Amino acid sequence: MEPRSLRAPEPLLFEVSRPGRRGYDLPPLDVPVEGHNTLDARYLREDIDGFPELSEVDVVRHYTRLSRLNYAIDLGLYPLGSCTMKYNPKVNEKVARLPGFADAHPQVAEEMIQGCLRLMHSLERALCAICGMDRFTLQPAAGAQGEQTGILMVRAYHQERGNPRRVVLIPDSAHGTNPASAHLAGYRVEQIASNERGCIDLGALRRRVGEDVAVLMLTNPNTLGVFEGEIEEAARALHDKGALLYMDGANLNAFVGQARPGDMGVDVHHLNLHKTFSTPHGGGGPGSGPVGVKRILEPFLPVPTVEREGDRLRFQHDRPGSIGKIRSFHGNFGMFVRAYAFILAHGPAGLKRMSETAVLNANYLRKRLEGTYHLPYGAPSLHEVVFSDRNLEATGVRTLDVAKRLMDYGFHPPTIYFPLIVRGALMIEPTETESREELDAFVAAMLAIDAEARRDPGLVTSAPHTTPIRRLDETAAARNPVLRWRPRGKES
Ligand SMILES: *Cc1c(COP(=O)(O)O)cnc(C)c1O
């Protein structure tokens, strides 16, 4: 018999099922069944073929073992660049579970959910103050949906002026969701090159912007973690031709409390509550991508908005210029509660300190690693830093190998091969929630991997060695995914 390891792959419940095992142990029924509220026999299923039969302890151990295979922010640093995987304070969870919030049905009468409406209204006011915008919609369920909402509002704005225009300009460093959102809104996407600092090339923008351009989508700080210092000039160049400026504000964690998109000439932007304001994300979980607008775009906000009427609050559905509904009900309400709790707990001074610390942590990692790993862009970093695998070229170790080897050291790998303008990119974002000790442990792992690559590259290129599943064939996984489980012996 093979010895069992706690790191062995966990079988499915179907595979460990044993006939006759039960998850409960009750005395036999000693009252007649007939005449009680039992379901009519024709609605009862005789048997479920292959239904797993397990004891309670089997089930508990199965799920506990699975939970231990998961890497989470509650286990350690999660330096996934662009994703802002900060720690989510447990108090957020506590307030989100208050029955008045958690049990509010989305179709309950407005008089009965004044508290929920007040939270939405207050969150909107807080976001307006933080970002320097006039209004926010809280409805989009993610950053990407926020982008689409924003671009649809831009389209409605131009349409009202008689011509929706044809083109959306996007820098070559942008997140892939930007061109996707523009395309979904019916626009043709044109790329604008970056300059040697990794920022938008203002000359190229000025040459291209014309009456056919609807909007520029600019990420600030951009995906290299570099602040777009000429954003005001970009806004002026666009506004001179009647075009608008959309800011992808997913990286807002870099300057919350320091600067405001609304003061930079931005007309519309989304932000990610699940990044900047600490709500759980990843794995496609619930998110929230509120969109802030200047007055000129307010008529086009999706419905409903939350409006004050005397001392009452209400949903306003009747907005003739609105782009309409973009999501069922009122958005991911539980995320609003968490984000608002986070904002109130920090206050203006706390939020300012938060972004300062996020930038400090990223720059600490940059300083400790830039002598070893290649830094493709030398411009000052804000909240994240992008390295490449160029210094490892002679060893044959690539970015993917470094990422895999990090798992053996107990870290989630950073974002890799993004942004696309950096070959072999390693994009590292520590966020403000990491201690000096945790950052030092990460640095030590990165330096150890560099040393291993030079001494014993095979060790790195065959990593990971300590995870339940070893190196996967990523191409086969993408090209030939096996998505259906079949019992052992019946795999084909
Ligand atoms: C995360 C991110 C997005 C998309 O946000 P989702 O909530 O994942 O849809 C867009 N742009 C940038 C720069 C991002 O980092």
Q: Which atom of ligand 1 is least distant from the CA of 289? A: 7
d(CA 115, ligand 1 centre) in Å: 30
Mean pLDDT of all residues in 301-328: 96
Residue 283 has pLDDT above 80, yes or no: no
Cβ of 146: how many Cβ atoms within 10 Å?
32
Q: Which atom of ligand 1 is least distant from the CA of 275? A: 1
Query: What is the chain's mean pLDDT, rounded?
Result: 93
Tell me which residue has its CA closest to atom 12 in ligand 1. 250
What are 246-257's pLDDT values in tens digits? Answer: 999 999 999 999
Burial class of 272 by CB neighbour count within 10 A (0 to 12, 13 to 18, 19+): buried
d(CA 298, CA 138): 13
Tell me which residue has its CA closest to atom 6 in ligand 1. 143
Q: Is 250 in the pocket of ligand 1 (CB under 6 A)?
A: yes
The pLDDT value recorded for residue 84 is: 95
d(CA 36, ligand 1 centre) in Å: 54
Query: What torsion, rounded to 10 degrees, do the Cα atoms 115, 116, 119, 121 define?
Result: -100
Q: Which residue bears the tokens 């802030």?
A: 292
d(CA 251, ligand 1 centre) in Å: 8
Q: Which atom of ligand 1 is least distant from the CA of 177? A: 10
Domains of the chain (ranges, CATH numbers): 13-69 (no CATH), 90-345 (3.40.640.10), 351-478 (3.90.1150.10)
d(CA 257, CA 245): 21
d(CA 277, ligand 1 centre) in Å: 14
The pLDDT value recorded for residue 7 is: 66
d(CA 297, ligand 1 centre) in Å: 22
Q: Helix, strand, or coil here: 141? A: coil
Whether the CB-CB separation of 215 and 243 falls below 8 Å is answered with yes
Q: Is 175 in the pocket of ligand 1 (CB under 6 A)?
A: yes
Q: Is 82 in the pocket of ligand 1 (CB under 6 A)?
A: yes
What are 97-149's pLDDT values in tens digits? Answer: 999 999 999 999 999 999 999 999 999 999 999 999 999 999 999 999 999 99
d(CA 214, ligand 1 centre) in Å: 21
- Position 6 confidence tier, pLDDT thresholds 50, 70, 90: low
Q: Is 218 in the pocket of ligand 1 (CB under 6 A)?
A: no
Closest CA to 304 of 323, 282, 320, 325: 325
Q: Which residue bears the tokens 């998961």?
A: 70
The pLDDT value recorded for residue 147 is: 98
The pLDDT value recorded for residue 282 is: 76
Percent residues over pLDDT 90 in the chain: 81
Tell me which residue has its CA closest to atom 15 in ligand 1. 82
Tell me which residue has its CA closest to atom 3 in ligand 1. 143
Angle (CA) 483-488-489 rounded to 5° is: 110
Percent residues over pLDDT 70 in the chain: 97
Q: Is 219 in the pocket of ligand 1 (CB under 6 A)?
A: yes
- Position 284 confidence tier, pLDDT thresholds 50, 70, 90: low
Q: Which atom of ligand 1 is least distant from the CA of 219? A: 13
Tokens of residue 116, six digits: 């929920």
d(CA 149, CA 324): 10
- CA dist list (Å): 296 to 155, 300, 321, 395: 12, 9, 12, 56
Nearby residues of 224 by Cβ (< 8 Å), 6 or more positions away? 173, 198, 377, 379, 381, 386, 419, 421, 422
Residue 437 has pLDDT above 80, yes or no: yes
- Position 289 confidence tier, pLDDT thresholds 50, 70, 90: very high
Whether the CB-CB separation of 204 and 360 falls below 8 Å is answered with no
Q: Is 272 in the pocket of ligand 1 (CB under 6 A)?
A: yes
Cβ of 18: how many Cβ atoms within 10 Å?
10
The pLDDT value recorded for residue 37 is: 66
Q: Helix, strand, or coil here: 284? A: coil
Q: Which residues pair with 426 in a beta bridge?
A: 387, 416
d(CA 177, ligand 1 centre) in Å: 7
d(CA 336, ligand 1 centre) in Å: 18
Mean pLDDT of all residues in 402-424: 96
pTM of structure: 0.91
Q: Is 289 in the pocket of ligand 1 (CB under 6 A)?
A: yes
The pLDDT value recorded for residue 355 is: 98
d(CA 287, ligand 1 centre) in Å: 10
CA diameter of the chain = 86
The pLDDT value recorded for residue 367 is: 98
The pLDDT value recorded for residue 492 is: 65
Mutate to test the pocket of ligand 1, among 78, 82, 170 (most ligand atoms within 8 A of CB): 82
d(CA 363, ligand 1 centre) in Å: 22
Whether the CB-CB separation of 241 and 211 falls below 8 Å is answered with yes
Mutate to test the pocket of ligand 1, among 85, 138, 175 (most ligand atoms within 8 A of CB): 175
d(CA 293, ligand 1 centre) in Å: 18
Q: Which atom of ligand 1 is least distant from the CA of 287? A: 7
Q: Which atom of ligand 1 is least distant from the CA of 147? A: 10
d(CA 248, ligand 1 centre) in Å: 8
Cβ of 95: how many Cβ atoms within 10 Å?
18
Tell me which residue has its CA closest to atom 5 in ligand 1. 143
Tell me which residue has its CA closest to atom 4 in ligand 1. 143
d(CA 279, ligand 1 centre) in Å: 14
Q: Which residues pair with 316 in a beta bridge?
A: 305
Whether the CB-CB separation of 300 and 157 falls below 8 Å is answered with yes
